[in-house]
Structure 1
Amino acid sequence: MTTTPRWNGDRVAFRQATPAQTDDVLEVLDEAAGWLADRRIAQWPARFEAAWIEEALARGETWLAHTDDGIAGTVTLDRADPLWADTPGDAVYVHRMAVRRRAAGLGAVVLDWVQDTAGRDGTPTVRLDCVRANDRLRAYYASHGFAHRGDVPVTGAPGQRGAGGPVTWVSRYERTRPPA
């Protein structure tokens, strides 16, 4: 039996985003990216481009978190990530997780929902990464039960992985829950 997640008294509903909701996803990502940029945290680019999220939307991997006040967050769940190619085991990979500033604190609900969703599919392990220099986010993941699984270099602009470009070191984190 699944329960409806709650945050600050509001029900939280997770709905698969469609390509028609590209602007909704970008609004959440850009708000979070702007907040990071204002704090000089090079986690993501200052703004996202639609082309960066369109494939995940078309594959049904991107979700929107809705509260009573409307869209409050987004997260993309992948079944593979080349950043973890050296690590065996089935996992769900969290990408582009962001919440609106008015929903600060919702991230923990999102992470628990991801873990529950993965577990229902028989995958108890959730993996994610962040820029190694982002000490606050690293501490956040650790405080939510994620274990540090090493640092690796990636190429490309912040938030974008690709051949060439600057090298950024990222920290990998993993959380596994035993089956219920």
Structure 2
Amino acid sequence: MKIRAATTDDVDAVIALRIESEAWLHSAGIQQWVDRARGVRNIRDGIAAGNTYVVEHESTVVASLTLAGPDPDFWTDADIPSSALYLYKFMIGSPHRGTGLGSRLLDWACDQARQRQKLWLRLDCWRENKALQRYYMQHGFQHVRTVVVAGRGSGALFQRPVLAPQPSHPLQQASRR
């Protein structure tokens, strides 16, 4: 598997991951990612800004994530937002869920934060998705706090210390196209 910066050629594949993830969440009774138009807009914006990455397996996009700056609705000056890299839109296609790919991608994202001289990898997650919150805690994230922002279902804030380099992982960084 290779990870690389997404290009405009990847927009449809990343949107397809989003739609698949929406369906999976909804089938589990989790009403997360219900505004598809906003999600598609965020995907396009992340790719255009160069913040979105895709994982390819046999020339097929099987996962995606975005690494960017803080969401000011959640992270305050007291959090020292510049001390972290922020993870968004972390999606893995169903054939690759449960394979350890998520763990490897979280390690890769921490490595990206470390390379950018950050102390933390941070994320905000859906307040009602307790299973996802447990997943992140099992992968070294600490719950910072949960905030409620009008019109936002997200707000469970987590961070993982970047620390020392992790053991090498089998994701290969591909050069930008």
- TM-score scaled to structure 1, two decimals? 0.80
SS in structure 2 opposite 1:153?
coil
Q: Which of 3, 6, 9 in structure 2 is aligned with 1:20?
A: 9
1:71 aligns with 2:61: yes
Give per-residue Cα distances to partners, 1:16-46, cap 9 Å, x unaligned. Answer: 1112321111011111111001111122127
Distance 1:95 1:119 in 2: 17
Q: Which of 112, 117, 120 in structure 2 is aligned with 1:117?
A: 112
Which of structure 1's runs of 4+ aligned residues deviate more than 6 A? none
SS in structure 2 opposite 1:84?
coil
Matches within 5 A, 1:47-66: 47=36, 49-66=39-56
1:33 aligns with 2:22: yes
CA contact (8 A) 1:92 1:127 kept: yes
Distance 2:9 2:58 in 1: 21
Q: Residue 85 of structure 2 corresponds to which residue in structure 1?
A: 92
Distance 1:52 1:126 in 2: 20
Deviation of 1:145 after TM superposition, in Å, equals 0.5
Distance 1:107 1:68 in 2: 18
Deviation of 1:53 after TM superposition, in Å, equals 1.9
Structure 1 residues 43 and 50 mapped into 2: Cα distance closer, same or farther (>3 Å)? closer
Q: Residue 171 of structure 2 corresponds to which residue in structure 1?
A: none
The structure with the largest helix share of the pair is 2
AA aligned opposite 1:150 = R
CA contact (8 A) 1:34 1:46 kept: no
AA aligned opposite 2:10 = Q
List gaps (5 residues or longer) in structure 2.
166-177
SS in structure 1 opposite 2:140?
coil
CA contact (8 A) 1:37 1:46 kept: no
SS in structure 2 opposite 1:40?
coil
List gaps (5 residues or longer) in structure 1.
1-11, 157-166
RCO greater where, 1 or 2, for CA within 8 Å and sep 6 or more? 2
Percent sequence identity is 31
Q: Which of 123, 134, 151 in structure 2 is aligned with 1:128?
A: 123
Structure 1 residues 71 and 148 mapped into 2: Cα distance closer, same or farther (>3 Å)? same
- TM-score scaled to structure 2, two decimals? 0.82
SS in structure 1 opposite 2:147?
strand
Q: Residue 158 of structure 2 corresponds to which residue in structure 1?
A: 173
